Amino acid sequence: MASVEKVLLAAPRGYCAGVDRAVETVERALRKFGASIYVRKQIVHNLHVVRALEAKGALFVDELDEVPTGATVILSAHGVAPEVYEQGRARGLRVIDATCPLVTKVHNEAKKFAGDAYHVVLIGHEGHEEVVGTMGEAPASITLIGSPDEVDRLSLPSDDRVAYLSQTTLSVDETAGVIERLRERFPSIRGPVREDICYATQNRQTAVKVLAEQADVVLVIGSNNSSNSNRLREVAAARGARAYLVDDETEIDEAWLEDARVVGITSGASAPEWLVERVIGFFRARGVDDVEEVRVVEEDVRFALPPEVG
């Protein structure tokens, strides 16, 4: 630990506009409607954020059948299948949709392609909530894949009626490889007008690449179930840094820092800045005074809140 001389902070890092919107939606709903605000699934994939909202009174559930009839429920930033909305209406719930608008874009693309008789190849991670929600828009017309090798195993009825979409939080570089293979296999394949990987995912991956080239060790602050945080760790490792994912400073193993002169810090799109400050404090308490921000991209994206709380 004594070898660490400098800490570099990636910028941009942390909350994206969709996460900020989702968390603010819960906080405003608590202020506006009072107690008994339910949230389906984790509002964003960060344990600390969920615990902080629970402390303010939010009640997290896995499914809508756990919500009392007529109560208020907020849907997470990751999006849901149409059947979830139908269940909410059937049970008389006040449903507030905190789905990230960039995820909603992918849902709309899936519906349009399926409606135009295309078979959609969705690039994503099986079981991730965003993927489950997107596939729910047209389950008979969507096939999920996660790697270039899976492209070769696809058996689709017509090469000229194939389209692709992707989960918004994937690795930009790895997804590009899958899309390239899809275009080789299906020359007439259609895609979204603008790629689906969100601006924040791309920006944070760009920043961590720069960071990894200057740091011996990169710490990514984020929870294990956060897709974009896991991708940041992978991107940093691919650039040659020793990279680790931590929820907070208590998970840092000082053995990781042996022979490290420069440590880079970034945070996933669902990790609040106060967690970054806690990790910086970990290093300051050990005598590291040189903390420098490495700004790669400027961000100024904002999303309007749902009308129920706006």
Active site residues: 130
Q: Look at residue 101 and give its three-state secondary structure.
A: helix
Question: How far is CA 201 from each of CA 13, 111, 195, 241, 271, rounded to the nearest angstrom?
Answer: 9, 24, 12, 19, 13
Query: How many CB atoms within 10 Å of residue 220?
Result: 30
Preceding omega of 12 cis (within 30 degrees of 0) = yes
- Our CA angle for 195, 201, 48, nearest 5°, is 140
Burial of 254 from C-beta contacts in 10 A (0-12 / 13-18 / 19+)? exposed
Other Cβ atoms within 10 Å of 144 Cβ, number: 19
Residues in CB range of 88: below 8 A, 6 or more apart: 64, 73, 95
Whole-angstrom CA distances from 76 to 44, 64, 160, 213 are: 7, 12, 35, 35
